Structure 1
Amino acid sequence: MHPPTLPLHTQLLQMASGYWLSQCLYAAAKLAIADHLRTGEKHCDDLARLTETDVTALYRVLRALASVGVFQETSAATFTLTPLAEFLRSDHPRSMRGTVVMLGEPQHYEAWSDILHSVRTGESAFEHRYGQGIFEYFGSHPEAAAIFEEAMNSFSKNEEPEILTHYDFSSFTTIVDVGGGYGELLGSILAKYPTLKGILFDEDYVVDHAAPTLMRHGVGDRCQRIGGSFFETIPAGGDAYLLKHIIHDWGDEQAIAILKNCRAVLPDNGKILVCEMVVPEGNQPSGAKMLDINMLVMCPGGKERTAAEFETLLAAAGLQLTRIVRTTEEICVIEACKA
């Protein structure tokens, strides 16, 4: 039997009130409820004591989440993990906790409250509200920067198995991960290919904290960490330049500048590997179409792109699109070489 279809007005109401659910998820993730439940069910009194929260309010949030399959109330005010809630554990191999926290933090959530500014002007709502770009903001707000990098690690943990399964890195000798954060993806690649070397390139305030991730993957001795801006110069020495969720942060002019800087140090037989979602044509549902709106709100000029838009962008940087390697997730590897 198929579940009953909700009336159209109820479906619309659920869409409009979606932030009620996302903020409940944020509260549970921020309070590490799933971590507290990893050893088994707990009464709400115990959870409230562990999280220093109001027991009645916490119960109401967990009851609401249990109603959509996140946690389960096993007896009066006693909760346990569900398969869905497991992904809120910080130690889950594909944990989404970092992402859920980032999306609920004030600097992200409040920027979305100004979406009309973005729609009316085409400008970043984040920049309008905070008076600076998001990456400038991170440079002076280390706690927010750490939350962002943890979220990017969270994305990597879910996307890296797909990238590693569908793309063969064995022909390369040195991979430069441009804007590679703490090195979650690069660390996984180097771990799978023990003859490969890596260069992790990002802002100083990022790479200064990357050593634990690289050591966890056991690749610290094969990976250099270099700080700098990809708008100024990019380290030479690689035959593959990897950019995961970098190009979508920027408008065409800035994205072309980044790609040109990669091309400037790319050997003739080298490859540029842009890892992004590709927006499909037509009306079909796509996470890329919603992420595109997030880029509109959060990043000046940021956007997701179609395959044709990527081909045009790469050509403007003196590169030729060679193929798009798709995965079972929405992340793709967009491969390019010198034109």
Structure 2
Amino acid sequence: MEMEMIRMQTTIPNSNINPENLIQSIFDIVNGYRKCKVLYAAAELNISKFIPPNGKIHVSQLANQMNVNQDKLYRLMRSLTNVGVFKEVDGESPDTNVDMVESSGVFSHSQLSMIIKDDSIRDVIRMLGGSSQMNAWNSIVDTVKTGKLDLQSSIGYQSYWDLLENEPTEREIFDRSMTTFTKKMGGPILSHCDFSHFDTIVDCGGGEGWLIEEILKKNNIIKNGINFDLDAVIKTKKTNTCQDSRFKDVAGSFFESVPEADLYIFKNVLHNWNESSIVEILQTVSKSIKPNGKIYILDILPERNLKNEKTSLAVWHDMHMMMICDGKERDGCDYEKICIQTDFKVEKVNTISKTFGFSIGQIILSKVSNL
């Protein structure tokens, strides 16, 4: 009835487009959060591991193995097949009393469900679809009105970083997710970025330390590789297996001090902060950077002139940064404006890869006196 009223009231002036198709498009957009949450449920429940890789299973058996409610699980599985995660296939129920209303209730893997068998991908889904990051978006209207992000009202903490500090499980999922992103970006970074001219490299906000380990493996000339992150991150590292004597974990805050080095890497870090915070971070680095030192900012490069672009994911990452941490995806021009308030200058901007629907860039900063 509601849909019929909408159809009757909708007119598109000077358009040959069927209004019903436009209405459907609007409802598809509104339905987006539901699709996100069913995928989150699949990841959180780890449904993929209970389905044979090349086989199939009836929902009654699946529910029994997972120790969940069969009816609710079936409806979840049905919704997941609607977005291409799992497939409902022909088969018979092992329980003749089960009525699936002309449905087999038998499920197998799809290409998408096989992907989320990977624990690293599951962690990313659990992070992005979990309550903390989803709830942060609840303040979007007030953020647009005031220009200020009020996370206290949406997630119960002053900042997302405060949440991670107080929620150990969230912290672990976040750190593992960041390692996943690093590994996906790692190949192009290691291939296109020159690390051979530096004695000491600090990966600021390096998390579990994967990137600095890989850099050391490929560059024997480097004397020291420092994985620098908050004390809470360093203490909870699960993958501290590096046997390279040049590798070291150092705990601290880049708002206070950083180890002395001639290269500082900020990969997927500075987009988490607003301009005044980035100025503060660069000022901290300026006190410790060696003569002729560099900063490599490795991050998403927003593409300008994307009017009406519907395929770029960069705009969504930018919005997410805005709602999670008052951050922003920035290009070389943005950093030139920021650097005016520091003693750094943008030396060069490189596009090193295009992956996941956006460009990954390397923005190189040098101290003004070094240029």
**Aligned mates of 2:52, 2:236 — CA distance in 1:** 28
CA contact (8 A) 2:139 2:149 kept: no
Is the contact between residue 276 and residue 332 of structure 1 (CA under 8 Å) also seen in structure 2? yes
SS of equivalent to 1:84: helix
- Say what the alpha-carbon RMSD is for the aligned residues: 2.1
In structure 1, the partner of 2:105 is: 77
Evaluate the alpha carbon distance shift between residue 77 and residue 193 of structure 1 in structure 2; reply closer, same or farther with a 3 A threshold: farther
Verify the 8 A CA contact 1:175 1:198 in the aligned structure 2.
Answer: yes
Counterpart residue identity of residue 229, structure 2: D
User: Once structures 1 and 2 are overlaid, which stretch shifts more, 328-337 or 197-206?
Assistant: 328-337
Q: Aligned to 1:114, what secondary structure does the other structure show? A: helix
Matched, 1:63 2:88: no
Please name the residue that 2:201 is paired with: 175
SS in 1 for 2:208: coil
Give the stretch that moved more between structures: 319-328 or 188-197.
188-197
Please tell me whether Structure 1 or Structure 2 has the larger radius of gyration of its CA atoms.
Answer: 2
Alignment CA distance shift 1:166-1:113 (3 Å): same
Aligned to 2:290: 267
Confirm or deny: 8 A CA contact 1:26 1:100 kept in the other structure: yes
Judge which range, 58-67 or 221-230, deviates more: 58-67
Give the drift of 1:27.
Answer: 0.4
TM-score (normalizing by structure 2): 0.81
Give the distance between the partners of 1:233 and 1:133, measured in 2 at CA: 21
How many residue pairs align between the two structures? 326
CA deviations over 1:212-240 (Å, ceiling 9, x no partner): 4241xx4553311111111100111x221
CA offset digits 1:155-191 (Å, max 9, x no partner): 2222222322332323333320111111232233233
| Residue 37 (1) aligns with residue 51 (2) | yes
1:155-304 counterparts in 2 under 5 A? 155-196=181-222, 197-210=224-237, 212-215=238-241, 218-219=242-243, 221-236=245-260, 238-282=261-305, 283=307, 284-285=309-310, 286-299=312-325, 301-304=326-329
Answer yes or no: is the 8 Å Cα contact 2:53–2:109 preserved in 1: no
Alpha-carbon distance, 1:194 to partner: 4.3
Given that residues 102 and 147 in structure 1 are in contact (C-alpha distance below 8 angstroms), is that contact kept between their aligned partners in structure 2? yes
Residue deviations 1:222-273, cap 9 Å, x none?
311111111100111x221011121111111111111121222112222101
Identity of matched residues, %: 31
Unpaired runs of 5+ in structure 1?
Answer: 1-5
Partners of 1:264 and 1:22 lie apart in 2 by 44
Please identify, of 23-32 and 106-115, the stretch whose mean Cα deviation from structure 2 is larger.
Answer: 106-115
Whole-angstrom distance in 2 between the partners of 1:34 and 1:195 = 44
Q: CA deviation at 1:38?
A: 6.2
Q: Work out which structure has the larger RCO, using CA pairs closer than 8 Å and 6 or more positions apart in sequence.
A: 1
Normalised to the residue count of structure 1, the TM-score between the two structures is: 0.88
Is the aligned partner of 1:87 residue 2:112? no
Q: Distance in 2 between matches of 1:124 and 1:142?
A: 24
In structure 2, the residue matched to 1:152 is 178
2:150 is the alignment partner of 1:122: no
Shift of 1:28: 0.5
Aligned to 1:3: none
